[in-house]
């Protein structure tokens, strides 16, 4: 027993409270006693108790009702019922409601001692489990998504909204915007988070292979199928199936996939047995699926089945305020991985990163930082570590005079901040009056 | 020598059986120990429905003695003791208090249908007397298997432990003694 273990005795008979209190006190427990439900609830508000010994029959609120209240305060409360008159019905009811065990007075001291020891052990494991789950949740939350721009905050809100449901989600965004990260965030906030998320890159697999990947195959189903193999649909059972680049699936597989999503049943390639599976579908595309439906290259019924809840990830160029935090995240990640003492991005280099348009989005930014860490020297990344971000590729820095560059930079800041003058001025490092003058000077106009 | 720990014999055991126990108590607690006989009102402590004797009521009889201040008393009985929630107890003590009680009733092999082994009974009794007195000196249950302060809920557990405290409990006991108003006797190292 842990010397700091605590035990709360709830019984209306003072002689029971006193004798149990004394007995457990000698065992080194921190013991509390309560003569009724009100006193017990007061004790529970004040501190968390490892073990609760609860008399089932008390005047006023009885033990069963009090158990319900206790579980509301501490869902992991370990309750042992004690009673003078045991009945199978009440014992079963108490256990059904989550009590650890049930003893009848008088109880054998050896039995009580073992019971409490086991209860402590189980409570320790339960609390450890909760901590580990919280750790896993925290780990995935921190690792996955970076960015505090209004656009990304909207995306986070959508993730929080849809994650706990089992709704099919369609994630749209340009290549490199982090669609898979969004899918993983949805999965890790869903009730399926302790089951796998299985990714299928539909664009990377040829037609026949994709079918086999999804559905699995029986031995001898086709040339080279020497063994039976489980498909991704089976592997995703209980979890989430993430279909990346879903717009690239051929018509036949589209039909098969639609059937599986609707029935949650399928057969392996070359097999007849009907297999049941239970997964949530999240898909992603950078294609214009509406156009594909109109062109007849994507099934309309599958489109509607997949496009139940849509999340659009803005390209990086439309949320430039996120660039510093994303860049710093990758600096930390790659400097640690490469064992280099590069801890930051210099203001000059950050300026280069912010000015650039990032057609390859976050993935391109990650590659740029990784490369800069390889060639850069401590203590920070400098502009010369980013030569590959050629000015020729950057529209904001494309050509012309200083005035032109300034005009485009101000225009970009205003667009990024939805023409919020105070915020744009703050980001540009000038006061609001100066910004108004420059807007007038360059003839910039708020979009309709 | 001032008698600061009293062992009250309220059982059918002869005092000669309890004298070695008194000596052992003196060695462990480093206090003068006096062995005496005193009757208890067993009738008042008897519970008809259980056929057992209330440990609390018997202990209360010791505590009712006004002369108890300044000393510790442990009473040895040979009746079956209980506290309301438990089916039985071997003994009970006032934690950091003045009184304790121990019963020889469930310490004898005869109780478990085995042949009489009087020496074993006295050894177990000695351990339980030291154990309960340990509580009156503020010692908690100890997790060391051989320590006398190890909690015993069945008789075989009593057999496993020694009649002396482990090093840690010894240290705690010494610390308690330093802070105690009871005069400590100096014992020979050989004891």
**Element housing B46 (H / E):** strand B46-47
pLDDT of residue B104: 97
Q: Examine the pLDDT at A284 and tell me if it is beyond 80.
A: yes
pLDDT of residue B29: 93
Query: Measuring CA to CA, which residue among A90, A86, A59, A246 is closest to residue A168?
Result: A246
**DSSP conformational letter for B142:** B
- CB-based contact A368:A334 (threshold 8 Å): no
pLDDT of residue B121: 96
Sheet with A51-55: list strands edge to edge: A30-34, A6-10, A51-55, A78-83, A101-104
Average pLDDT of the segment spanning B21-27: 96
Query: ∠ CA(B157), CA(B160), CA(B162), 5° rounding?
Result: 115
Per residue in B57-81, pLDDT (tens digit) is 999 998 887 677 778 999 999 999 9
Arithmetic mean of pLDDT over chain A? 83
Whole-angstrom distance, CA of residue A345 vs CA of residue A353: 10
Reduced to 3 states, what is the DSSP secondary structure of residue A332?
Answer: helix
B180 Cα to chain A: minimum distance (Å): 20
Percent helix, strand, coil in chain A, to 5, is 50, 15, 35
**Chain A neighbors of B83, CB-CB under 8 A:** 19, 23
pLDDT of residue A136: 59
**Chain B neighbors of A25, CB-CB under 8 A:** 95
Per residue in A18-65, pLDDT (tens digit) is 888 988 988 889 999 999 999 998 898 888 899 999 988 888 888 888
pLDDT of residue A135: 57
A112 Cα to chain B: minimum distance (Å): 9
Q: Examine the pLDDT at A335 and tell me if it is beyond 50.
A: yes
pLDDT of residue A2: 47
Report which of residues B66 and A173 the model is more confident about. Answer: A173
Average pLDDT of the segment spanning B36-58: 93
Average pLDDT of the segment spanning A317-346: 87
**Chain B neighbors of A105, CB-CB under 8 A:** 84-85
pLDDT of residue B188: 36
C-alpha torsion sign, points A341, A347, A352, A356: positive
Helix-helix angle A179-188:A150-162, to 10 degrees: 40
Q: Beta partners for A230?
A: A216
Residue matched to tokens 């040829």 = A206
In sequence order, what DSSP letters do the residues of A260-315 get, joined into one string?
HHHHSEE--BT----EE---EEEEEESS-HHHHHHHTSS-HHHHHHHTTEEEEPPP
- CB-based contact A54:A63 (threshold 8 Å): yes
pLDDT of residue B186: 43
- The number of beta carbons lying within 10 Å of the beta carbon of residue A321 is 18
Q: Examine the pLDDT at A176 and tell me if it is beyond 90.
A: no
- Span of A69-73, A149-153, B22-26, B184-188 with lowest mean pLDDT: B184-188
Per residue in A388-443, pLDDT (tens digit) is 665 544 444 444 567 777 888 888 888 888 888 888 888 888 888 888 888 887 77
Q: Examine the pLDDT at B41 and tell me if it is beyond 80.
A: yes
Please tell me the pTM assigned to this model: 0.53
Average pLDDT of the segment spanning A382-390: 74
| Cβ-defined contact of A16 to B88 (cutoff 8 Å) | no
Sheet with B81-82: list strands edge to edge: B46-47, B52-54, B81-82
pLDDT classification of A132: cutoffs 50, 70, 90: confident
A165, with CB counted inside 10 A (0-12, 13-18, 19+), is: middle
pLDDT of residue A46: 81
- The number of beta carbons lying within 10 Å of the beta carbon of residue A304 is 11
| Cβ-defined contact of B87 to A107 (cutoff 8 Å) | yes
pLDDT of residue A125: 87
CA-based nearest residue in chain A for residue B83: A19
**Chain A neighbors of B84, CB-CB under 8 A:** 13, 15-16, 19, 105-106
- Region of B128 please: left (phi>0), alpha (psi -120 to 50) or beta: alpha
Q: How far apart are the first and last CA of chain B?
A: 17
B132 is catalytic: yes
Per residue in A212-221, pLDDT (tens digit) is 888 887 776 6
- Span of A325-334, B5-14, B15-24, B70-79 with lowest mean pLDDT: A325-334
Q: Which two tokens stand for residue A402?
A: 């200083």
Return the percentage of chain A with pLDDT > 90, whole number. Answer: 16
Cα B110 to chain centroid, rounded: 21
Peptide bond into B143 cis (omega under 30): no
CA distances from A385 to A331, A348, B29 (A): 13, 11, 78
Query: Measuring CA to CA, which residue among A4, A8, A30 is closest to residue A82?
Result: A8
pLDDT classification of A224: cutoffs 50, 70, 90: low
- The number of beta carbons lying within 10 Å of the beta carbon of residue A287 is 15
Selected residue of B49, B52, B54, B86 to mutate for chain A interface (largest A Cβ count, 10 A): B86
Is the ipTM above a cut-off of 0.85? Answer: no
- Region of A238 please: left (phi>0), alpha (psi -120 to 50) or beta: left
pLDDT classification of B180: cutoffs 50, 70, 90: low
pLDDT of residue A345: 87
| Cβ-defined contact of B92 to A28 (cutoff 8 Å) | no
Q: Which two tokens stand for residue B169?
A: 């409990």
Q: Which two tokens stand for residue A382?
A: 């400098």
Whole-angstrom distance, CA of residue A49 vs CA of residue A74: 9
Q: Which two tokens stand for residue A269?
A: 């390639």
């Amino acid at each position: 027993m842990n010397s700091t273990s605590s035990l709360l005795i709830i019984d209306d008979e003072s002689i029971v409270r006193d004798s149990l209190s004394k007995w457990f006190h000698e065992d080194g427990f921190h013991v509390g006693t309560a003569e009724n439900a009100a006193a017990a609830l007061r004790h529970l508000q004040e501190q968390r108790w490892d073990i609760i010994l609860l008399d089932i029959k008390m005047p006023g609120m009885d033990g069963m009702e009090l158990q319900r209240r206790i579980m509301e305060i501490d869902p992991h409360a370990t309750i042992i019922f004690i009673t003078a008159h045991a009945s199978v019905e009440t014992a079963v009811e108490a256990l059904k409601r989550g009590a650890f065990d049930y003893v009848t007075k008088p109880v054998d001291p050896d039995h009580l001692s073992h019971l409490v020891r086991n209860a402590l052990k189980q409570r320790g494991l339960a609390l450890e489990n909760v901590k580990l789950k919280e750790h896993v949740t925290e780990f995935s939350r921190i690792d996955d998504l970076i960015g505090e721009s209004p656009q990304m905050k909207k995306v986070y809100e959508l993730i929080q909204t849809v994650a706990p449901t089992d709704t099919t989600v369609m994630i749209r965004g340009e290549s490199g915007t982090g669609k898979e990260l969004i899918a993983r965030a949805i999965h890790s906030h869903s009730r399926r988070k302790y089951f796998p998320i299985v990714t299928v890159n539909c664009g990377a697999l040829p037609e026949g292979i994709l079918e086999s990947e999804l559905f699995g195959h029986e031995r001898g189903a086709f040339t080279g199928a020497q063994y039976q193999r489980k498909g991704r649909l089976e592997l995703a059972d209980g979890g989430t199936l993430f279909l990346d680049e879903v717009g690239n699936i051929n018509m036949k597989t589209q039909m098969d996939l639609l059937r599986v999503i609707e029935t949650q049943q399928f057969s392996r390639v070359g097999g007849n047995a009907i297999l049941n599976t239970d997964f949530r579908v999240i898909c992603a595309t950078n294609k214009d699926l509406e156009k594909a439906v109109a062109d007849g290259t994507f099934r309309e019924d599958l489109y509607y089945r997949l496009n139940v809840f849509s999340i659009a990830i803005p390209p990086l160029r439309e949320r430039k305020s996120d660039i510093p935090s994303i860049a710093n995240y990758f600096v930390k990640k790659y400097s640690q991985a490469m064992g280099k003492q590069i801890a930051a991005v210099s203001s000059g280099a950050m300026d280069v990163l912010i000015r650039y348009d990032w057609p390859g989005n976050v993935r391109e930014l990650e590659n740029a930082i990784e490369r800069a860490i390889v060639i850069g020297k401590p203590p920070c990344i400098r502009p010369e570590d980013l030569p590959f971000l050629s000015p020729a590729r950057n529209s904001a820095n494309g050509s012309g005079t200083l005035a032109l560059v300034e005009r485009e930079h101000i225009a970009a800041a205003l667009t990024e901040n939805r023409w919020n003058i105070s915020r744009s001025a703050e980001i540009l490092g000038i006061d609001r009056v100066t910004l108004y003058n420059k807007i007038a000077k360059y003839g910039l106009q708020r979009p309709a | 020598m001032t008698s600061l720990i009293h062992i009250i014999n309220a059982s059918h055991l002869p005092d000669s059986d309890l004298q070695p126990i008194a000596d052992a108590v003196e060695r462990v607690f480093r206090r003068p120990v006096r062995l005496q006989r005193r009757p208890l009102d067993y009738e008042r402590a008897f519970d008809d429905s259980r056929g057992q004797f209330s440990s609390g009521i018997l202990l209360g009889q010791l505590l009712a003695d006004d002369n108890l201040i300044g000393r510790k008393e442990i009473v040895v009985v040979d009746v079956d003791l209980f506290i309301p929630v438990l089916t039985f107890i071997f003994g009970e003590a006032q934690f950091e208090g003045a009184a304790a009680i121990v019963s020889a009733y469930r310490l004898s092999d005869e109780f478990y249908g085995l042949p009489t082994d009087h020496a074993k009974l006295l050894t177990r009794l000695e351990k339980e007397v030291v154990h309960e007195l340990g509580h009156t000196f503020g010692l908690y249950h100890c997790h060391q298997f051989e320590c006398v302060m190890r909690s015993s809920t069945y008789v075989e557990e009593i057999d496993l432990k020694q009649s002396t405290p482990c090093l840690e409990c010894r240290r705690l006991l010494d610390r308690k003694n330093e802070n105690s108003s009871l005069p400590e006797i100096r014992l020979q190292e050989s004891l």
